[in-house]
A and B are shown apart, each in its own frame.
Chain A
Amino acid sequence: MQILQVEGLSKNFGGLAAVSGVDLQVESGEILGLIGPNGAGKTTLFNLISGTIAPNSGKVIFNNEVISGLKPHAICKKGLVRTFQSCKTFPGMSVYQNVLLGALFGSPGKISREQADVETREILEFTELAELSDVPAESLTLEKQKKVEVARALATKPKLLMLDEMMAGLNPTEVAESMELVRKIRDKGITVIMIEHVMKAIMNICERIIVLDHGKKIAEGTPEEISKNKTVIEIYLGE
């Protein structure tokens, strides 16, 4: 079953086509990698799908429902949630409050305060943040802050989670931990799309990879196919 279909999605900033005519399908339960050089339009694609910005043309179908044109909070409630490249936790709020906010407002339908508390604690256990519950989010290390963002996203009970460079700036141990976390998330039945520059991570955990360049999709396939693809090698290593 396909959980997400993107059809001919385009976005221009002035004369620049940041994303042009991108089609992509995401199977339910897979981990899909999204790679490409800087400025390829990866984050813009995330912004378009999650409703941060509206596309110039094309549409996004999530769970058999057109979601392009909806506001981000509505898209989040439908079960499609994202994290940010430049980590965006809520400074001034504790880790617990960060995640609780996701549970209270991001879940589809109404949720009682007690239920939200239970779910928040579960997710803090799941992401191994339970000990940091009362710590202000901004005082954590980058790795932990990124985890808080993921925990907050998970609290909204997503069907599809979009991770924007979750591993950038992390050391090898932290990258390994994050990879483990992504696998654990997928094993819960949550589909994952991840933008990543850390090739080791992408090649190891993604079942499928899509390559963007200058706003266009230029290749798609298994990690093996992508690593042998001539165009991709040219883009990454120069002609």
Chain B
Amino acid sequence: MDNNNKLKKIIGPVILVLILAFMISLPLFAQNYTIILLRTILMYVALTLSWVLFSGFTGYTSLATAVFYGTGLYTAGVLNGVLPLPLLMLCSGLISAVLALIIGTITLRLRGIYFAIFTLSSVELIKHVLNWYEINVLGVRGHYVTRVDYGTVYYILLAIVVLILITTYLIKRSRYGLALSGIKSCEEAAVHTGVNATALKVLLFALSAFFIGMTGTVMATGMLYVDSIIAFNLNYSFFPTLMAIFGGMSSMFGPIIGATVFAYLQEYLITRSPDAYMFIFGLVMIITILYLPDGLVGLYVRIRELLLQKAIPQIRRKISGGKHANTAS
């Protein structure tokens, strides 16, 4: 039993390292198309994990992902050619984080649906303010972005995903992870137990925004052109949220699997039946919310339990050899 538990503890990290090694070596032998597809998938994985970093921990549904992703895209356009890519990423990450501090300070006193709606409307607000500024003050719309090759972008995104995973793991293990589960389960009690909930929430929101902003800047290098309407697209708010729900948030694998399946589905459907793809998306989401409240991970847990329930009596019967028939349930 003890060995079994040890094995369980090791198996997760081992699988992660194997996947990581595979993904690092992939560009050496894979086709260009595969790398481009994986780039999109990694982008969604990064966004979904960042979303879960805040919303999964605190229980506050943020729809501000598009604000921070858009800030990343837009900053790449505005500062194109001014800074080298690593500095540019850092810069847009920080701008997104500061933006999150501001939005968070204003809105995190709101709860539930009010917080979600405010964050959602902040996307539209920023989009249209920038659009107005471009048209009326600058007189020029949009910005050119220098292309960076797919391989490099792929590796940067992979690094961001690993960074988010490590951050999430460290927070989960730390005392702040405990405080965050306190906030999620009963914020009022947490506050009266000495947890500075406001500060913790706002800082985590900023950290999540930092990763989202960096992801945006990397992705901008593949777009060549950005303007405010393209950058601040509401879908960037909805998709990560839906992907996390679809995958399930009870483990770190859930959001990764959710984002991967969803992103692949999008890629597959958009080339084959572009008209039907939003329809199929909606259908998948409705089914998930109605029948799989804990997402794919929850489904896996349920199936495993079902199998175990069937398996256990059989094993018991084998062990007891039918001698203690009255103890069998």
Q: List residues of A whose CB falls within 8 A of some B CB.
A: 50, 52, 71-74, 76-77, 81-82, 84, 88-93, 97, 100-102, 104-107, 113, 116, 149, 152-153, 156
Contacts and interface: CB of A to CB of B under 8 A. Distances in A.
A102 B191 CA distance: 10
Nearest to B195: A105
Contact of A101 (B184, B188, B190, B198): B190
Nearest to B194: A106
Given A50-B192, A102-B193, A156-B193, A93 B175 contact: no
B194 A97 contact: no
B28 interface: no
B195 A73 contact: yes
Interface of B: 175, 178-179, 181-182, 184-186, 188-198
Contact of B194 (A73, A88, A113): A73
Contacts of B182: 90, 93, 101
Given A101-B178, A105-B175, A76 B185 contact: no
Contacts of B185: 90-93
A150 to B, nearest CB: 12
Contact of A105 (B179, B186, B188, B198): B179
A73 B182 CA distance: 13
Contacts of A105: 175, 179, 193-195
A113 B179 CA distance: 13
5 contacts: A73-B196, A88-B189, A100-B178, A101-B193, A101-B195
A52 B187 CA distance: 12
B5 to A, nearest CB: 15
A115 to B, nearest CB: 12
The listed residue with most A CB atoms (<10 A of its CB), out of B178, B185, B190, B192, is B192
A156 B192 CA distance: 10
B181 A152 contact: no
Given A71-B196, A105-B195, A90 B190 contact: yes
A130 to B, nearest CB: 19
A104 B192 contact: no
B179 A101 contact: yes
B203 to A, nearest CB: 14
The listed residue with most A CB atoms (<10 A of its CB), out of B193, B196, B197, is B193
B175 A104 contact: yes
Contacts of B179: 101, 104-105
A153 B193 CA distance: 7
A72 B193 CA distance: 8
A72 B181 contact: no
Contacts of B186: 88-91
B190 A52 contact: no
A228 B178 CA distance: 49
B191 A72 contact: yes
